[in-house]
């Protein structure tokens, strides 16, 4: 197992390095306007702009820029925002944004798993009945209809029906309800439909049929055998969802004016803030890659069959 873990860690590090190289290289092709605040760009002459870019190191050869960028990353220097928050440290900007995204995404994660697992188990145990049909229709609607339409419908209809604020305010917890629900819709659909599938698959296995023949109760078989085995493949994505708590949602945060990480990325792209876009894309991509690694590690702990295969192969 140690060899497996070391191999996966090596692959993850290599992937992160490739992500850094690709993102860094692509951002070098962006217009240089993103390195100036609007006021500075208007006031500077062409010669002053070139001198300014040279002082920033933007005109240095690519290998030199990359070396300086990585050296600053290890020092904790993420650079400065130039257009969104002129000349503010990106590290300070992210500190405030991450708090908001973690708050909303933690609440949505709890809601997603509570509702998704409950709905998935209910659909599996009442296969072919009203609850199963309702859950299937919900999943189809969420996956077939464009997310922007679904989120806009939720925002408008629920705000009118329950008199909820349509925009997010940090000091008004009641305004958190709609963003949390919107963030949870897709996860609830995915969790419920996959859990239903895994439960149905487990119920058709020979060891479950044998347990029924032995006279074990339906509830005992469900929770002691079926559910425990059905939940294993779903644990792969759990570490990724935990890590992505800080990244927020691009669409939802923009729709509700949430001052989080997702909305910040949209704002920085619109404003062509090269430094901020670069850091945000690297954070989101690295979190995804690390989440996949942790998912593989978690599965090896919760599924004893993986350990057995490893021991046998050794």
Interval 241-258: pLDDT, tens = 776 666 667 888 888 988
Task: Outline which parts of the chain fall under CATH 1.10.3720.10.
Answer: 93-254
Dig out the tokens for 81 from the structure.
């925002």
What is Dmax (Cα atoms) for the chain?
A: 86
Whole-number pLDDT of residue 181: 93
149-156 average pLDDT score: 90
- For residue 129, the Cα-to-chain-centroid distance in whole angstroms is 33
Please tell me the distance from the alpha carbon of residue 156 to that of residue 121, in angstroms, as a whole number: 30
In this predicted structure, the answer to whether residue 144 has a pLDDT above a threshold of 80 is: yes
Residue 95 gets the label, from left (phi > 0), alpha (psi -120 to 50) or beta, of alpha
Residues 187, 116: contact at Cβ < 8 Å?
yes
Q: Of 32-36, 125-129, 188-192, 292-296, which gets the smallest average pLDDT?
A: 32-36
163: left (phi over 0), alpha (psi -120 to 50) or beta: left
Quick one: what percent of the chain has pLDDT higher than 90? 14
The CATH classification of domain 93-254, taken from the options 3.40.50.300, 3.20.20.80, 1.20.59.10, 1.10.3720.10: 1.10.3720.10
| 257 neighbors 267 (Cβ within 8 angstroms) | no
User: Using 50, 70 and 90 to split pLDDT, how confident is the model at 178?
Assistant: very high
The answer to whether residue 128 scores a pLDDT higher than 70 is yes
Judged by phi (left if over 0) then psi (alpha if -120 to 50, else beta), residue 79 lies in left
Q: How much is the pLDDT for 311?
A: 45
CB 280 within 8 A of CB 91: no
Contact between residue 105 and residue 183 where contact means Cβ atoms under 8 Å apart: yes
Whole-number mean pLDDT of the chain? 83
């Amino acid at each position: 197992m140690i060899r497996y873990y070391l191999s996966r860690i090596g692959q993850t590090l290599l992937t992160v390095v490739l992500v850094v190289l690709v993102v860094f290289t692509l951002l070098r092709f962006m217009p240089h306007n993103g390195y100036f605040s609007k006021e500075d760009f208007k006031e500077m002459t062409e010669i002053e702009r070139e001198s300014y870019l040279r002082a920033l190191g933007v005109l240095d050869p690519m290998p030199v820029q990359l070396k300086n960028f990585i050296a600053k990353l290890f020092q904790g220097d993420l650079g400065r925002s130039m257009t969104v928050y002129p000349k503010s440290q990106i590290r300070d900007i992210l500190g405030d944004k991450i708090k908001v995204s973690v708050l909303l995404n933690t609440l949505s994660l709890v809601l997603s798993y509570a509702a998704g697992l409950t709905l998935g188990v209910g659909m599996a145990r009442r296969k072919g009945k009203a609850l199963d049909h309702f859950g299937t229709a919900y999943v189809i609607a969420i996956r077939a209809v464009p997310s922007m339409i679904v989120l806009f419908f939720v925002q408008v209809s629920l705000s009118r029906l329950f008199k909820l604020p349509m925009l997010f305010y940090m000091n008004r917890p009641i305004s958190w309800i709609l963003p949390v629900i919107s963030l949870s819709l897709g996860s609830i659909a995915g969790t419920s439909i996959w859990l239903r599938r895994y439960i149905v698959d487990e119920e058709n296995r020979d060891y479950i049929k044998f347990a029924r023949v032995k006279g074990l109760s339906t509830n005992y078989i469900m929770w002691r055998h079926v559910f425990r085995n059905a939940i294993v493949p779903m644990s792969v994505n759990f570490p990724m969802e935990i890590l992505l708590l800080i990244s927020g949602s691009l669409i939802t945060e923009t729709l509700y004016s949430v001052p989080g990480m997702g909305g910040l990325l949209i704002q920085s792209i619109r404003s062509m803030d090269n430094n901020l876009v670069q850091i945000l894309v690297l954070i989101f991509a690295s979190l995804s890659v690390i989440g996949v690694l942790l998912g593989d590690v978690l599965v090896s702990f919760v599924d004893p069959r993986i350990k057995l295969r490893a021991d046998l192969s050794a």
